Structure 1
């Protein structure tokens, strides 16, 4: 199984048009893709991330965004690229109500690992 490249603009439009329901599917897909990219043992599946995010009224979703950014930073470092503060950026954007921007930035980072 490989990481699938997704159109960020289309994901944003579908999230808005479906009143956020597509963003739940998008979260599931991103969680699965981050697990593929980072190969982290004991990482929660996309379904578990989605379930915990819904049950905790997005508190777990905030934690997961931070963790996903941190994991992708480590992946960058392992490949010899410059490490940033993606986890902090995603978390702060989401806390201030810009979760969709966090999702777009995260998807952009995931797309870097997608098969051409």
Structure 2
């Protein structure tokens, strides 16, 4: 089930909990993107572990892949697809991953399960 999240509250909770809520948010949001695109292999826990194991390098792969998953989900629902891969990768490169999360959550909030 896809849950609408208040982006400002998620950012505040991430800051207040010193990033712990951000980990939860990342995992759940990635799972929801996988559900929306119909790809059961696109899971948050897998991407979180790969990011840990690669010391953060995998976050760039995730930033690209999540864009493609969102594009596919948007096409399925008749929305105009948004290709934000470059934006997400650059934000991640400059240490602004939380902004990427907010943008992804914004796209997720706009879509509903069929």
TM-score (norm 1): 0.86
Equivalenced residue count is 113
Q: Is the 8 A contact 2:51 2:58 kept in 1?
A: yes
Structure 1 residues 74-89: aligned runs within 5 Å: 74-89=72-87
Where does the alignment leave 5 or more consecutive residues of structure 1 unmatched? none
Q: Secondary structure at the match of 1:91?
A: helix
Alignment partner of 1:46 out of 40, 44, 47 = 44
Could you tell me how far 1:114 is from its partner in structure 2?
4.0
Matched, 1:66 2:79: no
RMSD of equivalent CA atoms: 1.6
Q: What is aligned with 1:28?
A: 27
Q: Secondary structure at the match of 1:66?
A: helix
Where does the alignment leave 5 or more consecutive residues of structure 2 unmatched? none
Could you tell me how far 1:81 is from its partner in structure 2?
2.7
Measured against aligned partners, the alpha-carbon deviations of 1:38-93 in whole angstroms (never above 9, x if no partner) come to 0025x232211111111211211221121111221122233333222222221111
Could you tell me how far apart the structure 2 residues matched to 1:93 and 1:68 are?
A: 14
| Farther off after superposition, 100-109 or 80-89 | 80-89
Q: Is the 8 A contact 1:69 1:88 kept in 2?
A: no
Could you tell me how far apart the structure 1 residues matched to 2:32 and 2:67 are?
A: 12
